[in-house]
Structure 1
Amino acid sequence: MADKRVSTFGVAATYIGTVVGAGFASGQEVLQFFGHFGLRGIPAIAVAVALFSLYGYLILELGRKLGAKSHLPVVRAAGGRIVGTAVDGVITFFLFGALVAMTAGAGAVLDEQFGLPSSVGNVLLVVAALLTVLAGIHGVVTAISLVVPLLLVAVVGISAATLLRAPLNPAAIGALEGARAPVPSWPLSAVVYVSYNIVLAVGVLAPLGAIAASPRALQLGALLGGLGLGVGALAIQLALLATLPQSARLQVPMIYIAGRFPALVQVAYSVVLLLEIYTTAVGNLYGFVVRIAKPRSAAFRWLVVATSAVALLAGRLGFSSIVRTLYPAVGYAGLLLLLALTYALLRGLPENARP
């Protein structure tokens, strides 16, 4: 299993899967970072696509050259010992914070859509993520690659059907633009959105680069990953704008939008949403634990269990409040990582330095 190499599709799907999760697939992230800017959110998404492709590739390539097992070698190679150590602390802390957000998100979906106690969703999510991460990096890649195509098909399909039923309403969009956004301008919002997602994805992207099939697989995988994220975000953005003002008032607006169609559509999207929450939780849990303990070691296994238990307890916090407060804070802190990666690009990436 250790010799198995990951294809272009595996790289792209894993990239997308580590980014999308409760915040993305629910529509809450897109609403906060793009929806509040109305139609100006569309060029913001285009900027995000370019940044996702560029910085995703830089992380993957550094991971390949360094034979990375966690994000630490990548951030130190990019930022040096001092900056790299600071970035490492930010990444490690927020990987756990995002795991808590995914746990809360699973509880919110089961509560709102299936009438089950949120604690049931919390437990199911944590147990599923725990078992997957115990299978190692290839288990993470396999799980994510199976789920990502379902999400893209679902959000594009629902968005297209919504636009056919309810064209955009300029008055409602104008009212939303007057609401206070977490980030003051759409260009900065695009950068902050990519920044916090890169922080949460680097824990998986760095070791993924070391097991990719070829440098070409990294290049195409990063490009396709960025495009896939852009397509999904644009589809959600248009669906949100077409269903204002109701969609802007809910914790899980995409479930509301799916609910405008036959009941089976809403149930199906709820399942897809839960699967995406699961894939992101898997990436967060793996990235956090592998930074502290060597993969496949006894310490790794024990830390997976302990981290899962703590996330389960912390996941009782409200989902939308976590997205609105934690995620922009992650983004601003993650600007340090983007600056370090930009500096590494300008000075030239290091030569192969595998141990």
Structure 2
Amino acid sequence: MKEKIQKKIIIIIIVFLLSPFSLFAQEPCETKYPDDGKCKTECEAGEHHDDTSGLCSSGKCCHMYAPVVDLSLQVPIFSYTKAADIAEYIVKIYEYALIVLAPLAIVVIIWAGFLWLLAGGDVPKISNAKKYISGAVTGLIIAFLSYIILSFFGLTSLKSPGIEYIEGEGDHHLIPFVPQQEYEKAGSDVKSIGGECFPVVKDSFDRISWNYGSARSGGTRCHAGVDIYTKGLGEVVAIADGIVTLVGTFYPCSKGMSMKVLIQHGNYTVNYGEINQGTIDSRIKVGATVKAGQYIGRATNCGMLHFELYEGKSRNYQWYPPPGVRITKPNQCLKEGYPKTYVKNCTSNCPVSTNIDPSATIKSLLNKMCAKN
């Protein structure tokens, strides 16, 4: 009976030790990139590209992953309250366990030795003393060997799993909501470009995250727009009369792929990003003229409308901070005045986009809610 129980315990332990391989194994990309310069470089850095990016002609894409943060322990181990990853936590448990077990085993061995010496030739007493010594030594061996076994199976080198960004230029599930006060502190001096309609109809408007210039892609990229959270149908409309210059895929979100619609409004171009795929109005085509308040589509798959603003006729560009800089604070790229270069790790003669802060424009349109037409 005991042998059967021991076999079951061994099987359970083996399954437990092997389970992390299925939990933590992830391919970083859906399709491997060829060595074609920037496309491959940005793929390996965790960027995502669609078939309209101009970088990856075949439309291959990489997943984005949320930044790994320290794990706060609900039950601290002495003064140890945070772990960088699961591996560190496992190692610490064993370190503290050995600190306790090793002296305890030594005490048991010494105590059993005295029992043996004082046994006076009594066989049962000597046998008990041997059992104590054997048990203590076996316990120490198991403690040390178990760490070796864990190392062999890779449990001491586990990292937190890559949690995929369901990001459209900034996912509110992963990146904190930025209130208006934080934006005000950033001190943007970009004036409103005007307009006749707020980009989301009244019944679909939830709130705004004033997150222009905040962190994206784990702090390696600056947020080039402002996120307008939606509810209900999430209906999006044009802020003014204009001409459609681009319609294309944008980012995958938790409820499906999103699209971008670029409309040139006079001397400026707005990127209406994170529109649900399949909901864009049939009138919205490249070269088509739109009117203020004209229905564009629904923005619910990502939970928001991503609103970018550019001077002139332009496409949407990513915005990278200077090499070696990591974005950790709200609106940091705006506050620090980082050049809006769209080439990662550029050190000289860096090309910059015409992207500008849309916050003032959005604020000026808050009292101009329009019904879609």
TM-score between the two structures when normalised by the length of structure 2: 0.22
Structure with bigger strand share is 2
Greater CA radius of gyration, 1 or 2? Answer: 2
Structure with bigger helix share is 1
TM-score between the two structures when normalised by the length of structure 1: 0.23
Which structure has the higher relative contact order (CA within 8 Å, separation 6+)? 1
